[in-house]
């Protein structure tokens, strides 16, 4: 029997194209799923698809992650519904318009809030629950964009980079309790989030990335670049001296 056949899995932002693919892999193994999304109709459509694909049970809760109190409440509801959790995957995010952010404090703060603060609002109760249970895995989708600030998307990059550092500390804190923290760093993925971005051979499908996320979680990896080739690419990009990097139009 596969190791995750009876896994209890919470997925935040389950209507995301990438998260849906990861959920499908868990469903095929007969996992028990608890899904959240802000659009109830789309969430129920995803849940119905996962039931057909073999999930043992699928529960749902509508959650707009900008409501921090509700974030904490939903973590407790999911924990109670499944009698504890083995895996929590946090997947929601938005790609803000960098030019609009530069012109608007409100847009910049909203992007940071959605991509960073709301994730922290979920990770805080999740970490406490998992630490007390001395078991499980917390996985979060950050981005290669968080590895180095670039003029074309540094607001998004700052949020994902901050998240990367937060997860580093959380991993260090939770390791003695036997809880894994997996930092997932996709490169370009063909999803609704990148609908307006010109496609290149560096783009991966949501199916490839979603499956790689499942493998990374099951292997309890620490930091994973998806696909793998982003690790050497980001090594080169982060190795470049600031005196050179600041002159590039990236």
Ligand X SMILES: NC(=O)c1ccc[n+]([C@@H]2O[C@H](COP(=O)([O-])OP(=O)(O)OC[C@H]3O[C@@H](n4cnc5c(N)ncnc54)[C@H](OP(=O)(O)O)[C@@H]3O)[C@@H](O)[C@H]2O)c1
Residues labelled catalytic: 156
Task: State which residue has the least CB distance to ligand X.
Answer: 93
Segments of 116-207 assigned E as strands: 137-141, 180-186, 189-190, 204-205
* 230 near ligand X (CB under 6 A): no
Report in angstroms how near the CB of residue 184 gets to ligand X at its nearest.
8
CA dist., res. 180 & res. 216, Å (int): 11
* 101 near ligand X (CB under 6 A): no
| The binder of ligand X chosen from 17, 71, 167, 182 (CB under 6 A) | 17
Q: Which residue, 94 or 132, is less far from ligand X as judged by CB?
A: 94
* 66 near ligand X (CB under 6 A): yes
CA dihedral (219, 88, 108, 154) in degrees, to 10, reads: 0
Window 19-38: contact mask with ligand X (x via CB under 6 A) = ------------------xx
Judge if the upstream peptide bond of residue 137 is cis by omega within 30 degrees of 0.
no
Burial of 99 (0-12, 13-18, 19+ CB in 10 A): exposed
Window 113-152: contact mask with ligand X (x via CB under 6 A) = -x--------------------------x-x---------
| The binder of ligand X chosen from 186, 224, 225, 234 (CB under 6 A) | 186
C-alpha atoms less than 13 angstroms from C-alpha of 186 in its C-beta half-sphere: 25
Phi, psi of 35 (to 5 degrees): -115, 140
- Give the residues lining the site for ligand X (CB under 6 A): 13, 15-18, 37-39, 42, 63-66, 91-94, 114, 141, 143, 186, 188-189, 191-194
């Amino acid at each position: 029997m596969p190791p995750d056949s009876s896994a209890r899995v919470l997925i935040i932002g389950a209507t995301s194209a990438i998260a849906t693919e990861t959920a499908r892999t868990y469903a095929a193994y007969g996992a028990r799923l608890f899904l959240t999304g802000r659009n109830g109709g789309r969430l129920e459509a995803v849940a119905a698809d996962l039931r057909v694909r073999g999930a043992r049970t699928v529960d749902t809760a509508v959650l707009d992650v900008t409501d921090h109190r509700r974030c904490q409440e939903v973590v407790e509801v999911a924990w109670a519904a499944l009698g504890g959790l083995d895996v929590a995957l946090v997947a929601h995010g938005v790609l803000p318009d960098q030019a609009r952010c530069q012109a608007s404090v409100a847009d910049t703060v909203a992007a940071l809030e959605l991509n960073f603060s709301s994730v922290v609002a979920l990770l805080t109760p999740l970490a406490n629950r998992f630490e007390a249970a001395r078991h499980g895995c917390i996985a979060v989708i950050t981005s290669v964009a968080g590895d180095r600030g670039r003029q074309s998307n540094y607001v998004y990059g700052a949020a994902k980079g901050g998240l990367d550092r937060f997860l580093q500390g959380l991993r260090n804190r939770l390791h003695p309790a036997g809880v894994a923290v997996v930092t997932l760093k996709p490169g370009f993925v063909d999803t609704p989030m990148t609908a307006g971005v010109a496609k290149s051979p560096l783009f991966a499908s949501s199916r490839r990335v979603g499956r790689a996320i499942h493998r990374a979680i099951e292997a309890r990896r620490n930091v994973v670049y998806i696909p793998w080739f982003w690790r050497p690419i980001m090594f080169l990009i982060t190795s470049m001296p600031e005196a050179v990097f600041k002159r590039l139009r990236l």
